[in-house]
A = this chain, B = another copy of it.
Amino acid sequence: MVQKSTSSSSKTASRRRGRPRAFEPETALARAMDVFWKDGFAATSLDDLSAATGLNRPSLYGAFGDKRALYLKAYRRYREHVREAFSPLFAEAAPLRDKLRRILRAALDLYLSGEDGPRGCFSVLSASSDAVSDPEIRKFVGEAIDAADRAFERLFEGARAAGELPADADPRRLALIASAALHTLSVRARARIPRVEIEPIVEGTVEAICGPARRREEG
């Protein structure tokens, strides 16, 4: 039950004993994530998940556990996906203004993505869901928010050290403003507010943090 594939995970190595799986857990999890991301926890039924993944319910249970466990796994996958997508943007060597703009634009693109309409941010959705009464899910949400706050904080610390921000700038305060931008982008995307009405928030936030267009760079 809890054995974690004691053998190596290389593709062709020592195949398991019984009937082989007819699906790839990774892609099934990706489909489940899509559904949860779109409809939220309470409004997603196991039949929805079954239809989206192509697995029947017993297979879902066998592979991922019950609905709550699957939600946690889907959420974890979302966070990994986000981390992989945004880490390079934070690590990039570029002026702060450009980096911040690219990060916020990428977030907006992510929040507007979805075959059946914009989905917003999974963490914002989870925070709004009844699932947040679950301590473990709440912990996940808190970690996700904190991770974004810290990533922005480190970004602004570095920028301040590099002279891209005034010496008296407060990286933590600026980080909270950047995270607030993420949250409002998510809310508005989810409300299906047109992209052109949302986009000014990106530039407005960049200006609020980095200062107006090409001024004040040196008092």
Contacts and interface: CB of A to CB of B under 8 A. Distances in A.
The dominant DSSP class at the A interface is helix
A183 interface: yes
Interface string A105-148: 00000000000010010011101111011000010011001000
A179 B187 CA distance: 11
Given A176-B204, A177-B204, A43 B190 contact: no
Interface in A173-192: 173, 176-177, 179-181, 183-184, 187-188, 190-192
Number of copies: 2
Contacts of A173: 200, 204, 207-208
A190 B201 CA distance: 23
Interface string A1-28: 0000000000000000000000000000
Interface residues of A, number: 43
A172 to B, nearest CB: 8
Contact of A193 (B39, B145, B170): B145
